[in-house]
Structure 1
Amino acid sequence: MASLDLRSLSELLAAHTPTISELGRGQWLGVVELMMMRLTDECGSLSAESWATCSLALTYALEAAVASGSIDETESIIRRLNLSAALLQRIPSNSVVDILNPNHLIDLLFQELQMSVEEARERAIHWRALGIVQIRLLRTVKNLVSPALSLARVASREEVDGRLKAWEEVVPLLP
């Protein structure tokens, strides 16, 4: 798979090939990394049709990585948010393509967040006194919200900015 170009790799993965059981945990993580690298490198030259295929391929690769135990769902969303934030600094958003749709991605963030902005603010004040489990949770929240803030700045849409405005003040306080 490493020798395939982005188009061939995307077409293969969009067709759900290989099946989840055909690759191991580390291999699926490698596929995700390869897909993300190729998308970042070649994003400026992709057609609208190619973006649709690449988005489906990335979704399948991330789902397979989760199903194989390589990463969990939260890590999958963090990776998707970070990739999209990087892509949208170079190309325009597109509401039809999931990985280029800031509103869709912000919705994913809010579905995955395990605490409100108020809870995060309260815990962040004294995070050094918290147990390791709580510190890791705060770190996960920061890892989810940080790329979403980048997405909101790139998208510069009021509805996106409004949902994230309170987080802009809290994220710097998180571990």
Structure 2
Amino acid sequence: MPSLALSFDNPSVANPLDLVEQVISANDWAFDRRSDSDMAAEAPGKWCDYGLYFCWSDEISVMHFSCAFELKSPPKRRGALYELLAKANERLWIGHFGMDEDTGMPIYRHSVLLRGTPSASAESIEDLVDIAITECERFFPAFQFTLWGGKSPSDALEAAMLECAGEA
């Protein structure tokens, strides 16, 4: 069987966390650059503040990104949460929702492969963060309805996805 690993004389990818730091700073968001390989930040949202976490692996040229929100799930509602996560993921083009096993918080995750590129662009970092926050904002009410409102995942998703028209 042929090997999928190709041997090229590629220089290593520049650390995209340097660019992430610039984007986060430009938005005046609090952040903590813990090391060359990880960084945490906090971004304001309509429903809550979002915890952003970026992790860079130079070895495989991948940046992992997650966006968590403070919405803990009671253990008795976690089955419904898993069902809602699966239904929400069917509606996403990029990234996916999961659950932090320790806290029970829903979390949005996405990884970016950067092998063969010099680095990420400011636009791609901005889009990555914008898409994550937009999806978290869009699905937050469904998580709230399921976890604390007692709605079924299908009903919560339907109620949360209603598009309002007109003005009050």
Q: TM-score, normalised by structure 1?
A: 0.24
Q: TM-score, normalised by structure 2?
A: 0.25
More strand by share: 2
More helix by share: 1
Q: If you compute each CA radius of gyration, which structure gives the higher value, 1 or 2?
A: 2
